[in-house]
Amino acid sequence: QAMNVPEMLEEVADRFSFQLRKKSIRAAVRVEDGIEAIWLDRDQIDQVLDNLVSNAIKYTLDGGRIELSAHRPDPASIAISVKDTGIGIPKKDLSRIFDRFYRVDKARSRNMGGTGLGLSIAREIVKAHGGSIALDSELNEGTTVTVTLPALQSGGELG
Ligand code: ATP
Ligand code: MG
């Protein structure tokens, strides 16, 4: 269905307002001009974004920041990023982070809850929609996950 992208990102942040407040994490939404209605599978993309924002909160210390942003890298695509100022991911783990059940350092995630499935599910959904998911992380500085999807303007035409 056609979706309003800024609204969609605001609503993700709203769904996590309790967790955000509990950790005093501020969430910002930044959307490039000209991104309004885009055809996307709302339920599935929400599931992806919820997984990413849940990670961003889980792996960010109290008082950190999260940014949800969207831009058009080219006329046929939309890129949505979830960026945090969290603990980051060691370089040696980056290649396995999308594997099922893979979690960095059991010690740090033991008390966090979860199974290590979030990112693998997110990647499956994104791939099923013809998109890609990329992760960029700096240990102790933060992580950015970017989902790139084919975007149809609400008229139905490409770009
Ligand atoms: P689940 O999503 O099933 O609740 P999970 O969050 O541990 O559990 P994934 O979402 O698949 O599993 O993430 C895999 C691992 O990648 C996490 O355990 C964590 O070590 C690391 N990770 C994911 N996102 C981040 C992030 N934003 N910052 C730091 N580490 C992250
Ligand atoms: Mg997760």
* pLDDT tens by residue, 89-142: 999 999 999 999 898 876 666 667 788 899 999 999 999 999 999 999 999 999
Confidence band (pLDDT; 50, 70, 90) for 39? confident
In this predicted structure, the answer to whether residue 152 has a pLDDT above a threshold of 80 is: no
Residue 53: closest CA among 98, 13, 90: 13
In this predicted structure, the answer to whether residue 159 has a pLDDT above a threshold of 50 is: no
CA distances from 146 to 4, 49, 52, 79, 80 (A): 18, 10, 9, 6, 6
Mean pLDDT of 13-39: 93
Q: For a substitution probing ligand 1, which of 19, 59, 121 has the most ligand atoms within 8 Å of its CB?
A: 59
Q: In this predicted structure, what is the pLDDT of residue 15?
A: 98
Prediction pTM value:
0.93
> What are the two backbone dihedrals, phi and then psi, of residue 30, each rounded to the nearest 5 degrees?
-135, 115
CA distances from 91 to 22, 96, 97, 143 (A): 29, 10, 10, 12
Confidence band (pLDDT; 50, 70, 90) for 158? very low
- Minimum CA distance residue for ligand 1 atom 10: 118
Q: In this predicted structure, what is the pLDDT of residue 35?
A: 83
Average pLDDT, the chain: 90
Q: In this predicted structure, what is the pLDDT of residue 119?
A: 97
Examine the predicted complex and report whether its ipTM is higher than 0.95.
Answer: yes
Assigned token pair, 61: 């210390």
- CA atoms of 124 and 127, how far apart (whole Å): 5
CB 94 within 8 A of CB 137: yes
Asked if residue 97 has its Cβ within 6 Å of ligand 1, the reply is: yes
CB 88 within 8 A of CB 141: yes
**Strand, coil or helix: what is 73?**
coil
Largest CA distance in the chain: 50
Sheet bearing 37-39, strands edge to edge: 2-4, 37-39, 152-153
Q: In this predicted structure, what is the pLDDT of residue 120?
A: 97
